[in-house]
Structure 1
Amino acid sequence: MANIVNNKLQCLMLFLLTFSYVLSDRFVDGRRIGTTKLVKPKGTIKTIEGKDGEIIDCVHLYQQPAFDHPLLKNHTIQMEPSSIPSDLKANSSPVKLIQGWHKCGQCPEATIPILRVPKNQHLPALRHLKRSRTQLKQSLDSDDGDNLSDHEYAVAYFGGGGNFLGSHATINVWKPTVEGSGEMSIGQIWLVNGPEQEINTLEAGWRSDNYQKTGCENLDCPGFVQTNKNFAIGSALDFSVYGSKQVDIGVAIYKSKDSWWLKVNDQEIGYWPISIYKYLKNGAARLDYGGEIYNAKAGGRHTKTQMGSGHFPSEGYGKAGYFRHIQYMDSTGSYKDVEPGKLGKDAAKPSCYDIQIQSDKSSGTNFYFGGPGYSADKCP
């Protein structure tokens, strides 16, 4: 299908274990529903129907999908981190985590909200990506026919052998146009460790998509333990308007004792127990920030799927997508600004999607990223 799809913006929490040392391929793939309609999840105590068509099921804490993970069979939930970084900058604009469904009800204590796909939609058949961004680039350069080469990105990266205990960025939220079935556009942070063939990642940010074939995300894979009863992962967020209102969210992932915690703006959402990882037990070796799209090459040309705002970084504030206040947590547990000179950049196809790194006092180390995708002369 080559028609432009006007998709709802969603908050994305990706959970990718990019090698089967932790879980078998069959298990990592999550719940393969295909075209089967979603049913009410087990442990549902209350169901809330939002005015925008979203259905939220309030599921008992100990019956959430996390506990389908074989390593979490006897896990005791941590309701809050053992320690919370006090120097994490809160520079995101005031986007409330109270989402639209709250107008129709709230989840009780000891439950978490889980977004159910409406009856006229189907859960994508998800699969597990087994390659890092470096391997995707190699595949792209080799043109070996592997469809993973159709993933394109414009990212900044930091580290390479370091030991980072956390990552943070204030991410500009947009609703980019996505073309055709199976495509997506994301803006997120990555924490990475492990050799190329066994790589582990933690990823969080936003997504606009009609995607059907990328790895485990949101609560579709067991392993992420949600503790927040007010935030439904995957539920729609507000987004920026070109040349006008700008919306961003502060996204952080940090290590606290034996877990990696996800924080959005000023609220802890939940955590990944380190027991489910092989290479992220002690820290991350590299931190990535930026955008990624999937190019289905409909009609033999490059996709019209946009990245970021759909405009190039040169257009600047209010028009291009941005990442601000890019920070890392060092081995002492303190957050520090990434120095601009130490932040590398990588764009798979700069004529389609690009990135520009800069720094200033008000927004710290930052960059603009994105682009429109297809054009006959620059991005055929």
Structure 2
Amino acid sequence: MAYVNNNKLECLLFFLFASSYVLGDTFVCGRKIENMKNNVLVKRKGTIKTIEGEDGDIIDCVDIYQQPAFDHPLLKNHTIQMKPSSISGGVKMNSSQAELIQDWHKNGQCPKGTIPIRREQQDEHPHGRGVKWIPRRTQLNQSINNDNHNEFATVDIEGGTFYGGRAILNVWNPVVYSNGDFSLAQIWVTAGPDKEVNTVEAGWKVDYPDRKTRLFIFWTGDGYKSKGCYNLECPGFVQINHKFALGSPIKPVSRYSAQQFEIGITIYKRKRNWWLHVQDQILGYWPGSIFHYLASTATRIVWGGEVYNTNPNGHHTRTQMGSGHFGNEGYGKASYFRNIEYMDNYSGKFIYVQVRSLHAYATRPFCYNVEVANNTVGGFGTHFYFGGPGYSTLCAV
């Protein structure tokens, strides 16, 4: 990096800043500052150790009691729960699927008593707030002609009292076409009217221009306006796991007509908190105190995919959803959710119940569609396929 500047004071200040950063951090791999220009350069409060992943991600191991959650005004005196009052368990995976691989583990581990926090890049989630909630199925005809850039291919259950939901989904790396686009697959657990909806969400996501498949969570307490964020970008989610870094890449990913790689996601209520499991690991929880409607139970659970369509060059984006193939192509070719269940309370006993009837919804079926499976695939339980390629002669606007 070259700097042409005759002002000695400015040069001195820059030198002091760079030196203090390099000497004061536990960043041990010697990467130069200019190679990290897209990352947040400031070490997080409470950092005990810093690890650089092979993919360039920087992970701060932060004292669990100094994590961002406790900057929330409602969590100032919050006592961390290290596990739910009774553990309902995450999705049980096959032995070959038991571990979710995050590359930063190759260069170190965060010690117990800390949590790994990835240094987010600036403007990494340009549509993190202000996005529109999923249109109701009764709004299907109107949604096609409005200015909503969010495209969905989902199934849901609603109108009941739900204490959580879970599923296993295969992981892909869809092509994300243009600046501002993203593609994701996730579970939404929600309550409240659309304009004030409370939601906790988890899944995998690919953004442009990063184009890596990353584990993520999201929450909002006011209909995606000002309360809420991705991962640990704002106070809210309390992480207790020292192995999983939210926002880090997921590897490996599925391949068309080849081996399918999966993750299991479980979100459920215990007392006032909404707990998150990935595979069979407890990651942490959203305290019920940061919500109004979700302080009680959920009234709607959604599983499926979403694409943000920037309408490049005046036509629908070419950004893929899922595998980039339509749901009717089925196993090994389309993206899927399987073993779809919700949590119910029978006389004080919490149990998982297989969803018997799924309501399918797609904003533009010629772009991305949903296929609820009628056939029985061994061990798949209730399941569906979804996705699509985006722009085509049938999916133009």
Taking structure 2 as the reference length, the TM-score comes to 0.79
The CA deviation at 1:206 is: 0.4
Aligned to 1:200: 198
> CA 1:363–1:209 in 2, change beyond 3 Å: closer, same or farther?
same
SS of aligned partner of 2:383:
strand
The DSSP-based 3-state class of the residue aligned with 1:204 is: strand
List per-residue Cα deviations over 1:23-78 (Å, max 9, x = no partner): xxxxxxxxxxxx89442111111000122211110011111111111100111111
User: How many residues are matched?
Assistant: 337
Q: Which amino acid aligns with 1:168?
A: R
Q: Structure 2 vs 1, CA of residues 136 and 52 (structure 1 numbering), >3 Å: closer, same or farther?
A: farther
Give the 3 Å change call, closer, same or farther, for CA 152–136 of structure 1 in structure 2: farther
Report the equivalent of 1:253: 267
| 1:113 and 1:230 in contact (8 A); partners too | yes
Partner of 1:13 in structure 2? none
Note if contact 2:323-2:334 (Cα within 8 Å) is conserved in structure 1. Answer: yes
1:281 positional shift: 1.6
Is the Cα contact below 8 Å between 1:107 and 1:113 reproduced in 2?
yes
Match of 1:156 in 2: 155
Distance 2:263 2:281 in 1: 11
Higher relative CO (CA 8 A, sep ≥ 6), structure 1 or 2? 1
Find the counterpart in structure 2 of residue 183 from structure 1.
Answer: 181
- Going from structure 1 to structure 2, the CA distance change for 1:251 and 1:159 (only over 3 Å counts) comes to same
Residues 68-127 of structure 1: CA deviation (Å, up to 9, x unaligned):
1110011111111111115x6514661513521111111112100011146xx6544554
Bigger Rg over Cα:
2
Instruction: Flag the 1:153–1:123 CA change in 2: closer, same or farther, 3 A.
Output: closer
Distance 2:358 2:144 in 1: 28
Could you tell me how far apart the structure 1 residues matched to 2:260 and 2:312 are? 32
Give, in whole Å, the separation in 2 of the partners of 1:71 and 1:91.
36
Instruction: Give the secondary-structure state (helix, strand or coil) at the position aligned to 2:341.
Output: strand
Contact 1:188 1:204 in 2 (8 A): yes
Partner residue of 1:233?
A: 246
* Aligned with residue 168 of structure 1, among 150, 166, 169: 166
RMSD: 2.4
Stretches of 4+ aligned residues off by more than 3 angstroms: 35-38, 121-127, 135-140, 142-146, 377-380
Question: Identical aligned pairs, as a percentage?
Answer: 52
Find 1:345's aligned residue among 346, 357, 360.
360
Matched, 1:355 2:356: no
Q: 1:108 aligns with which of 91, 96, 111?
A: 111
Corresponding position of 1:69 = 72
Alpha-carbon distance in 2 for matches of 1:348, 1:278: 29
Q: Which amino acid aligns with 2:295?
A: K
- Cα distance in 2 for partners of 1:216, 1:78 equals 22
Contact kept? 1:54, 1:101, Cα under 8 Å: yes
Shift of the 345–272 alpha-carbon distance from structure 1 to 2, 3 Å rule, reads: same
Kept in 2: contact 1:38–1:122 (CA 8 A): no
The answer to whether the 8 A contact 1:261-1:271 is kept is: yes
* Correspondence for 2:16: none
Please show how residues 120-139 of structure 1 align to structure 2 within 5 Å.
123-125=124-126, 127-129=128-130, 131-134=132-135, 138=139
The gaps in structure 2 that reach 5 residues or longer are: 1-37, 211-223
